[in-house]
C-alpha cells in the first residue's frame, strides 16, 4: 500500500475508535472509590451497566480512574472478563485523557443513604442533602420514592452480567445448593491505607474494626450441626466472592465494606451485622439488606474488636426480651 494511502487509512481507522473515560462521581464527596463499598457500588457495578449500554466495538478504548492498588486488581479482573481494551489511569495520568468521551456512572452507594437524606436527621446529612439538591440528576435518582425496586433491578442486572462473563451463569442458575454460614474475617491493611500512605482516607480492614474468635464459633456451630465457615473476602477474587456469597445460607460480620457483598446473596439469607457503638453514622448496610430482601439483624457492642461469642450472646438476649 502506498505510504500516503496507508497513512490516510490509519488515520481513518483511529478516528473510528471511541475512547471512553469512566470518572468516579465526587460531586457530593461521600466516600472514596479506594474502599470496597464505594468502589463496588459507586463505581464498578454502575460502570458495568454503562458499558453494556454503550455496546462498544472490539476496538474501543476504555480508561478508568485508579482506585488504589487493592481495588485496581478487582477492576482489572472485571475488565479482562469483559474483554475490554482498557487502561487504568493513576492520578498523575488523568490529565492526559484528552478527546475522551467522559462517562460518570451513578453512585449507587450514596443512593443507599436515601432514608437518611430524606429525614436529614443530623447536621451532616442536612449538609449532604443540600448538596444533592444542587444536581437535578442526583435528586431524581437518590431521593426518588421508588429507589428500593430501582436499586434491586440495577444490582440484579449487574450481577447477571458478571455471572455471564465469569462463566458462572449455568452454575448459579441450575444449582440450588445452600452453602455454609459465612463468618466474615476482615483483611490486614495494605501499606497504601496506612497513616501517611497514599490513600485519600487511611485505615482499612482490621485496623478499623474486627471480630475475634471466629474459628472458635465456626467450630461450635459445625459441632451443633450448623454448617459454618470463616471467610475472608479480601483473599479471594471477585468471581470467587460472587460464588461464595451466592451459595451461603447467611453471613455474620462486623460492620464494614464486606457487607457490600450483600448484592450477591440470595433473598431470604440470614444476615447478622455487629456494630460498635462508636459508629455514629446511620447503617447503609441495613437498607442494602432491605433492597436485597435478606433477613437482616444488627447487634450493637461496646468494642471495635469484639469477641463474636459475646456479640451473639447480646443478640440472643435482645431477641428473648423482644419476644
The residue whose grid cell reads 461464595 is 244
Compute the mean pLDDT over every residue in the chain, rounded to the nearest whole number. Answer: 84
Q: What is the pLDDT of residue 210?
A: 95
Q: What is the pLDDT of residue 14?
A: 45
Per the model's pLDDT, the better-predicted residue between 209 and 10 turns out to be 209
The answer to whether 143 touches 118, Cβ cutoff 8 Å, is yes
pLDDT surpasses 50 at 209: yes
Please tell me the class of the 169-322 domain.
alpha beta
How far is Cα 98 from Cα 104, in angstroms, rounded to an integer?
Answer: 16
**Bridge partners (DSSP) listed for residue 19:** 61
CA angle in degrees (0–180, nearest 5) for 249-252-258: 100
Q: What is the pLDDT of residue 200?
A: 87
pLDDT surpasses 90 at 307: yes
How far is Cα 98 from Cα 50, in angstroms, rounded to an integer?
Answer: 20
* Cell (9 digits) for 56: 462498544
Per the model's pLDDT, the better-predicted residue between 316 and 250 turns out to be 250
Residue 10 confidence class, pLDDT cut points 50, 70, 90:
very low
For residues 26-54, average pLDDT: 92
Distances (CA, A) of 18 to 6, 83, 99, 162: 21, 16, 9, 23
pLDDT tens track for 112-170: 776 655 555 566 666 666 666 666 666 566 666 788 899 999 999 999 999 999 999 88
pLDDT tens track for 157-205: 999 999 999 999 887 766 677 899 999 999 998 889 888 888 888 888 8
Q: What is the pLDDT of residue 321?
A: 45
pLDDT tens track for 47-79: 999 999 998 898 999 999 999 999 999 999 999
**Angle, to 10 degrees, between the axis of helix 238-247 and the axis of helix 147-165?**
120
Domain ranges across the chain:
3-165, 169-322
Amino acid at each position: 500500500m502506498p505510504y500516503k494511502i496507508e497513512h490516510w487509512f490509519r488515520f481513518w481507522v483511529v478516528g473510528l475508535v471511541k475512547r471512553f473515560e469512566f470518572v468516579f462521581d465526587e460531586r457530593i464527596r461521600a466516600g472514596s472509590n479506594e474502599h470496597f463499598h464505594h468502589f463496588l457500588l459507586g463505581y464498578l457495578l454502575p460502570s458495568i451497566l454503562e458499558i453494556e449500554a454503550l455496546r462498544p466495538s472490539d476496538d474501543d478504548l476504555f480508561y478508568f480512574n485508579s482506585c488504589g492498588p487493592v481495588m485496581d486488581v478487582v477492576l482489572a479482573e472485571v475488565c479482562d472478563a469483559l474483554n475490554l481494551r482498557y487502561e487504568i489511569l493513576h492520578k498523575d495520568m488523568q490529565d492526559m485523557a484528552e478527546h475522551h468521551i467522559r462517562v460518570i456512572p451513578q453512585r449507587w452507594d450514596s443512593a443507599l443513604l436515601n432514608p437518611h437524606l430524606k429525614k436529614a436527621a443530623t447536621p451532616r446529612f442536612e449538609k449532604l442533602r443540600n448538596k444533592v439538591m444542587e444536581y437535578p440528576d442526583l435528586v431524581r435518582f437518590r431521593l426518588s420514592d421508588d429507589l428500593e425496586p430501582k436499586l434491586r433491578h440495577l444490582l440484579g442486572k449487574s450481577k447477571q452480567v458478571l455471572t455471564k462473563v465469569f462463566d458462572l451463569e449455568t452454575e448459579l442458575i441450575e444449582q440450588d445448593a445452600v452453602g455454609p454460614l459465612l463468618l466474615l474475617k476482615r483483611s490486614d491493611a495494605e501499606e497504601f491505607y496506612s497513616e501517611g500512605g497514599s490513600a485519600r482516607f487511611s485505615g482499612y480492614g482490621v485496623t478499623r474494626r474486627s471480630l475475634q474468635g471466629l474459628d472458635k464459633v465456626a467450630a461450635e456451630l459445625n459441632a451443633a450441626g450448623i454448617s459454618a465457615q470463616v471467610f475472608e473476602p479480601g483473599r479471594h477474587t471477585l468471581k470467587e466472592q460472587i460464588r461464595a456469597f451466592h451459595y451461603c445460607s447467611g453471613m455474620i460480620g462486623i460492620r464494614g465494606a464486606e457487607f457490600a457483598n450483600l448484592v450477591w446473596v440470595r433473598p431470604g439469607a440470614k444476615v447478622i451485622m455487629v456494630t460498635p457503638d462508636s459508629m455514629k453514622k446511620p447503617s447503609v448496610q441495613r437498607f442494602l439488606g432491605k433492597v436485597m430482601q435478606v433477613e437482616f439483624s444488627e447487634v450493637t457492642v461496646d468494642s471495635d474488636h469484639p469477641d463474636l461469642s459475646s456479640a451473639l450472646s447480646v443478640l440472643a438476649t435482645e431477641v428473648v426480651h423482644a419476644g
